[in-house]
Amino acid sequence: MWGCGALLGARTRSRLWREVLVAWGRRWSAAAPYSASAEPSRVRALVYGHHGDPAKVVELKDLELAAVGGSDVHVRMLAAPINPSDINMIQGNYGLLPKLPAVGGNEGVGQVVAVGSSVTGVKPGDWVIPANAGLGTWRTEAVFSEEALIGVPSDIPLQSAATLSVNPCTAYRMLMDFEQLQPGDSVIQNASNSGVGQAVIQIAAALGLRTVNVVRDRPDIQKLTDRLKSLGAEHVLTEEELRKHEMKNFFKDMPQPRLALNCVGGKSSTELLRHLAPGGTMVTYGGMAKQPVIASVSQLIFKDLKLRGFWLSQWKKDHSPAQFKELILTLCSLIGRGQLTAPACSEVPLQDYQRALEASMQPFVSSKQILTMC
């Protein structure tokens, strides 16, 4: 198993991937540049026929590869992460549920093998990611419509491409859309070691924003603190530290945050509200504690705090595909400049999916599980 915390290792592997896969893509495109005439491939996919415990309902199955129509793209998947939204979708408690049976996975990166005769946006050898959730990325290959895909540069690290379309997009939009922040302003967030949290730290640093990052206490808290600070976190606090009376002096040395990002709910979100500047906004994008957000009357009346929610799927419904592609390319430019890296992750072969699913649901796991297809 490879870890992708080391940037050099990730870049080296991405270069090797490109050399092998570009050659592989050329072989395919030379044989069948615009057709479905290639010999049928053995497609392996993680499928669930009903909702429930992912470890029990997800199965590795063989699927038949559909024919490539005029507006279709044959994609060989390279890597796909396991996100909390993937788990929630399988459990049946997410805001978007595909028709069953379904292939798991909302995010990932693949390489174009062949294209239909009317496809103009991508070509064999290109890297592509899903344009929307529900595509079903936990599979070795598939035929998708061109409009379901977005081309991305193939010179970015593989793990960055595989984890690009959900967490970094969520982080960027929350930082940009709710408060008009200026360099030197501060942001406070919980679940700071999550995929979104790590992206918030890096994007905020690139924008000149200061971050206060709250995490749950754990045995390896110093190791986690060091990692988050290496990404650009200015302060890393535990939930317990945030509740201490001494915190009243904390913001004498930095401005009170005008933006709080909440992925937990319950007491954790109440603490974020307590430290927000008057007129500030708390944006909720997750509910890990499965407890409601509670705001006191005094916070709403005397501090005029605003409570908002964010869901990337809704943002994409409210904006054009061109705007989402622009967002993706903005993030790719940050990746290219070394200002945004993939979250800490562990690569797991597709056939070992049970191990990956179990690891993704364990508490205090800061390493995202990424399914590799080769």
CB 70 within 8 A of CB 117: yes
Instruction: Give whole-number Cα distances, 304 to 5, 210, 276, 308, 327, in Å.
Output: 41, 23, 10, 13, 31
- Least Cα distance to 277 among 306, 249, 253 occurs for 306
Catalytic residue (one of 34, 48, 94, 172) = 94
48: annotated active-site residue? no
Angle at 126 between CA 7 and CA 360, to 5 degrees: 50
In the structure encoding, which two tokens stand for residue 143, read together? Answer: 């035929």
**Residues 88, 91, 95, 98: is their CA dihedral positive or negative?**
positive
- In whole angstroms, give the CA distance from residue 293 to residue 75: 42
- In whole angstroms, give the CA distance from residue 13 to residue 372: 13
What is the residue whose two structure tokens read 């790719």?
332
Kindly report the length of the chain.
Answer: 374
- In whole angstroms, give the CA distance from residue 193 to residue 201: 9
Residue 82, CB-side half-sphere exposure with 13 Å CA sphere: 32
Catalytic residue numbers read: 94
